[in-house]
Chain A
C-alpha cells in the first residue's frame, strides 16, 4: 500500500516532467528548426523568453523521479541504471548540454556565441528525450533484468520498443511545446508566431498519431506483455489518450489555444499512465514486483510524509511561478518586442518596447 502510494507519487512526478520539462525540450526542437539567424529570431526569442524563468523548476521533476526511485525501490534503481548505463549516460550529458547552453546563450550577445550555444541547446533538447524514451522502452519491454548490469549493455535498449519510445518521446515533447507556445505567442502579442506554432502543433500531433498507431504493431511483435496490458487493463487510458490528442487537434484548428493545452497534456499523461497500468504490479518485467523491491515501510512513510509537507510549500510556489510568467504583462515586456540591433543578430526595434 505504502509502496503503491510512493510509486504513484513517483509516476505523478514523471508525468509532470513529461508535461513541463518535456515541453521545454520540445521548445529546443523548434529552436533547432526555426531557420536562419534572422528569420528564426522571433521564434527563438519567444522560446527563450517563455522557458527562461521556468525551465530549472521544470527540470527538477527528473531529479524527483530519480531520487524517489532509489529511495523507494533501490534494487530497481540499481538494475535500471547499471544495465542502461549507455543511454542514461547520453541522457545525463544531454541534460548538461541543454541546461548549460541555454543559460550561456541567454547571457551572450555576440551572434557567433549565440549560434554556438543555441545549436548546442537545440540539439541536446532532441537527444535527451530520445534517450529517455529508449530507457522507457527498455524497461517496458522487459529488457532490464534485476541485478547489477545483468542486461546487455547494448541489446537492452537497441530494440524496436526502445526506438518507438525514443521517437514518440521526441514527437510528444515537440507537440506539447508547440501547443503551449501558441498561447504564449498570442499573449506576447505575436499572432503570426501563434499561427506558425499552430501549424507545427498540428503537424507534430499528426506525427504522434501515426507513430502511435504504428507502435501498436511494434509492441505486438516486440513486447507482447505490454501489448496485452495496453489492450486490456490499460485500454481506457489508451483510448483517453487518443481522444485527448484528437480533441486537442480540433481545438487547435479552432484556435482555442488554452483549452488545447489541457487536451494535449491529457493525451501525453494518459500514455504514461497507460504504460504504468499495463505493467503494474511489475517493476521489472517479467517477475520483479513492486512489493518485492519496495523499501522498508519506515523509509516509505518518511518519504511520503516529507513529500506531503513539501507539497504545501511546492504547490503554491509553483502556482505563483507559472502565474507570474503566464500573466499578460502588457506592452514593454514582450519577448519578441525588439531589442538591440546587432549585426545580423537582434531584430530591430518595433516600437512596442516602451521605457519600462
Chain B
C-alpha cells in the first residue's frame, strides 16, 4: 500500500492548467503573506524601541507613537496569522507530492516555527491588551518575546525554504528515504545567507513602510513633532540596515553562484559558460542571450570571481527544459538590486542633510526645498522596499524552476492531482482581494482617527487620552 502510495506520488501528473493554477495560488498567497509577515517581524521592534525611548525620556510624542503603531500592529498581526496558516494548509492542498515525500525532512523547522509563533501570539495578546494592566516596565518587557519570536519564526520558515534550494540532511536508497537528520536538513548550507537576507529585509520593509506613511503626513504640511519622530525613527533604522543588506545580498548571490549556478545564470542572463562575462542590466532574453541590455564588460566575472577572466557558469549547463524563465528572473533581480541601492542612497542623503544642517549650527534637515524633495522620494522608500522584497522572493522561487526541491522533485511531480485547482485559485483571489481592500481601509481610518485608547486594542476606554 505504501509503495503504491509512493508510486502514485511520483508518477501522478496534473493537467497543465491546474499546475499553473496551483503555482499562481501559492505564489499569490505567499506574496501577500510575506509583506504582512515582514511587518510582523519589524513593527514590534520599532514600537518597542519607541516605547522604550518614550519611557526613558518621558517624551509624550514617542509614547503616543508607540501606542498608535501598536494598534496597526494588532490588525496586521491578525491578517498575518491567518494568511500564514493558510500557507501551511496550501503546502498540503497544493503540493502533497512534496509533503508526502519530504514533509518529514522539513518538519522540524516548522514545528519550531509553531512554537515561536505561539510565543509571539501569546505575548502580542499581552502586549496589546494589557498595556494599562501592567506596570510600564513590565509591559515593555512583554514586547521583547514578540520581537525575538518574530525573528525566530522568520528564521525557521526561511530555513525550510533554503532546504528546497539546498536539500540535505537525508539519505535516499533505491528511491526511498532511509535516514533523516532533521537538524542537518534545517541548518542546510543555504540557510545562513537566506535567513540573514530575509530578516534584514523584514526590518527594512517594516521600517520604510512606516516611514513612508509619516513622510506623506509631513508633506501634507503636518509638521508636528509626532510626525517627525514617526518618520525619523523608522527611516533611520531602515537606512542603518540598508548597507548591511547589500553586503549580505552579495554573500547570498555568491552562494547561489557556487551552489545553484543555473539560478544565478537566470538572474544575470548568462547563457554560455565562460570568462569575461559582462554584467547585463535589463534586457530581454532571446534564444541564446540577453538583448537590448546595458552591458558592463567583465562585470559579472569581477563580481562573482573577483577577476575579469573568472569563469561564470551559464544556462548551457542544463537542457532548455530544465531552465527557469530568464527574463522574469533577471528583471526581478535587477529591480531588487536597484531598489536596494535606492534605499541606501536615501539613507546617505539624510545623513548628508543632517551633517550640513549641523554644520550650519542646527536647523531642520527636513526643511527647505531640499527637504521637500527628500520627503517626496522618502514616500517611495516603503513601496521600494516592498518591490525589493517581492522581487527577491521571485528570484529565489522562479529561479529554481522547474524544481520544487532543487534537482530532486519538480513542481509537476509535487502538485495535487485532484481536479478543480483552478476553482480554488479564483476563490482564494476573491477572498484575498476583499481582505486587501479591508486592510487598507481599516489602516487608513486608523491613521486619521483622533482618539488614542489607553490600551491600543481596548476601544471601550479610548476616551481617556494618556498623553
Q: Which residue numbers of A lie inside 8 Å of B, CB to CB?
A: 45, 49, 52-54, 56-57, 59-60, 62-64, 66-68, 70-72, 74-75, 77-83, 85-86, 88-89, 91-93, 95-104, 106-109, 113, 117, 146-150, 153, 287-288, 292-293, 295-296, 298-299, 302-303, 306-307, 310, 313-314, 317-318, 320-321, 324-325, 329, 332-335, 337-340, 353, 355-356
Contacts and interface: CB of A to CB of B under 8 A. Distances in A.
Nearest to B449: A109
B115 interface: yes
B81 interface: yes
Nearest to B84: A63
B460 A45 contact: yes
Contacts of A89: 89, 93, 424, 427-428
Nearest to B12: A148
A56 B124 contact: yes
B82 A79 contact: no
A295 B421 CA distance: 28
Contacts of A117: 438
Contact of B119 (A53, A80, A313): A313
B166 interface: no
Nearest to B421: A85
B241 interface: no
B461 A64 contact: no
Contacts, number: 295
Interface size class of B (residues with CB under 8 A): 35 or more
B114 interface: yes
Give me the 3 closest cross-chain CB pairs, A-B, nearest first. Answer: A71-B107, A81-B92, A78-B100
Contact of B435 (A67, A100, A106): A100
Interface string B439-464: 10110011001000010011111111
A60 B428 contact: no
Contact of B79 (A99, A292, A302): A99
Contacts of A72: 104, 107
B126 A149 contact: no
B9 A81 contact: no
Contact of A314 (B4, B115, B460): B115
B86 interface: yes
A60 B99 contact: no
Contacts of A107: 71, 74-75, 442, 445-446
Nearest to B25: A89
Interface stretch (B177-185, B281-289, B371-379, B380-388): B177-185
A355 B465 CA distance: 10
B74 A103 contact: yes
Contact of B418 (A59, A63, A82, A335): A82
A102 B449 contact: no
B81 A99 contact: yes
Contact of B9 (A98, A147, A287): A147
B278 to A, nearest CB: 45
A323 B84 CA distance: 27
Interface of B: 1-2, 4-6, 8-9, 12, 71, 74-75, 77-79, 81-86, 88-93, 96-97, 99-105, 107-108, 110-115, 117-119, 121-126, 128-130, 132-133, 145, 177, 179-183, 416-421, 424, 427-428, 431-432, 435, 438-439, 441-442, 445-446, 449, 454, 457-464
A205 B237 CA distance: 54
A100 B129 contact: no
A63 B460 contact: no
A96 B431 contact: yes
A146 B460 contact: no
A293 B307 CA distance: 52
B133 A149 contact: no
Contacts of B428: 89, 93
A33 to B, nearest CB: 22
Nearest to B78: A103
A306 B111 contact: yes
Given A100-B79, A288-B1, A317 B460 contact: no
A340 B439 CA distance: 23
B118 A148 contact: no
11 contacts: A53-B128, A54-B125, A63-B88, A70-B92, A88-B92, A93-B427, A96-B435, A101-B438, A107-B74, A109-B459, A333-B133
A172 to B, nearest CB: 21
Contacts of B129: 52-53, 325
Of the candidates A107, A293, A318, the one having the most CB atoms from chain B within 10 angstroms of its own CB is A107
B103 to A, nearest CB: 3
B461 A353 contact: yes
A334 B460 contact: yes
Contacts of A81: 89, 92-93, 96, 99, 416
A296 B104 contact: yes
A150 B74 contact: no
Of the candidates A102, A113, A288, A302, the one having the most CB atoms from chain B within 10 angstroms of its own CB is A302
A117 B179 CA distance: 49
